[in-house]
Structure 1
């Protein structure tokens, strides 16, 4: 049984991956969708079933709890699926200083963005074969420290570096890993993170359809990093070429209106 596994599938980029993957993987037997919002998951299931005719297996669960991993393990051991693509899209951020953010929010962010992604990936790898893909949602925030979103940027730097290293480890097995590093994307992400206060960032807001389309193209090309848009590609290059003190100064100047440490 050939399947796709998608986390954060009820909204945002996860939902968009669920919409576009059946067009790229036409031989899938099932798509396994993981998210907390039952109603939204049902909407995605109905949409995929009516448009693509693909069966969706739903896991209405919180990735910060053990239950979903136990449920998945039971199903994987029973059904022996061939996971053709895993998309780790679950995650959240917060546009606020560390001192202005509740510590539980910060630790939950680390657990979801880093620990849950790592745990699920390790759980799925034994059920992958040559040609399988792993797609991890990082961010352009991974390119440099982000005052005003320090923990979020640090978690995404972990995702980026983890993905690149994992890709090297799995290459001999024919399994390819892509870290997707978009800038601001017009999704519900900012409902939790808070609105962008810098006009320049607002102008760079991308459509989720475009980001996912580019990501899946890069996945097919076996690229280790997918970056949508010339501005984000330029930002990555600038960070790589600039000394740390220059990068830190620029990022502080860009973000100093978004946070206030009291």
Structure 2
């Protein structure tokens, strides 16, 4: 049995990955993982009968164990793994609760590692891993510090893992979008200081970001970047001092 596994699948980027993978890939099942079981069941009706809801809260330690157990029972080939689960919060150290800090690090980083390592024994040559990074990983971002820092980890982890898996023929692509029109901002601005960041331009559409991400993953690229603005941001973050970039960010955020 050949499958795709997509975390954070109930909304936003994760849901768009489900839509496009269902329409473009020849698979037996698409395992969609998220907390909201009702939304996952709706996706089976809306998108494809191949969608298999797996309702789990990945912040709970026993969820990864449940995934490992399911993989051991089914013994599928994981053709595509998409680690899309994650969230961000705007604000400084004064604005984040202990739970928000722990959950952001755990979901964006630790869960991504454990999901990846759980699936690797079930992957073969030409199978692909897609990690949801962010253009915020290109430079330090005051007042969006913790989220951006978790995405630095995602990008570095993904690119190094891509090299480690070369001998197995498995590719790892880190997707680094700019601002994308999803529910992300509703969560990100729900803090003690919701006015920390206001300038969300340019705004990209999730279908365009995911379309390019899937193409880049097929090509074996270790990073997928959509849009001239984001590409310029990546370039300037390499060429200009980060102190200058951070000062500019504080003026336009």
Q: What's the counterpart of residue 87 of structure 1?
A: 82
Distance 2:25 2:68 in 1: 23
* Rounded Cα–Cα distance in structure 2 between residues aligned with 1:11 and 1:122: 24
How far does residue 23 in structure 1 lie from its aligned partner after superposition? 2.5
CA distance in 1, matches of 2:177, 2:210: 10
Q: State the Cα deviation string for residues 49-73 of structure 1 (Å, max 9, x = none).
A: 2xxxx42222111111123222211
Give the 3-state SS of the residue equivalent to 1:99 in structure 2. coil
More divergent stretch after superposition (99-108 vs 139-148): 99-108
Task: Please state how far the C-alpha of 1:246 moved relative to its aligned partner.
Answer: 2.1
Residues 196 and 56 (structure 1), Cα distance of their counterparts in 2 relative to 1, 3 Å cut: farther
Alignment of 1:185-224 (within 5 A): 185-194=180-189, 201-224=199-222
* Partner of residue 24, structure 1: 24
How far has the Cα of 1:198 moved from its partner? 5.9
Identify unmatched segments of 5+ residues in structure 1: 256-262
Give yes or no for the alignment of 1:113 onto 2:113: no
Q: 2:152 aligns with which of 133, 157, 161?
A: 157
How many residue pairs get matched? 249
Q: Is the 8 A contact 2:143 2:196 kept in 1?
A: no
User: Which residue number in structure 2 is paired with residue 254 of structure 1?
Assistant: 252
**Superposition deviation, residue 253 in structure 1:** 3.0
Q: Which of 145, 168, 171 does residue 173 from structure 1 map onto?
A: 168
CA distance in 2, matches of 1:79, 1:40: 24
Which residue in 2 is equivalent to 1:259? none
Q: In the alignment, is the contact (CA less than 8 A) between 2:16 and 2:206 conserved in 1?
A: yes
Find the partner of 1:55 among 50, 71, 75.
50
Question: Per-residue displacement from partner, 1:14-38 (whole Å, max 9, x unpaired)?
Answer: 0000000022212x00111100111
Structure 2: any 5+ residue segments left out of the alignment? none
CA RMSD of aligned residues (A): 1.5
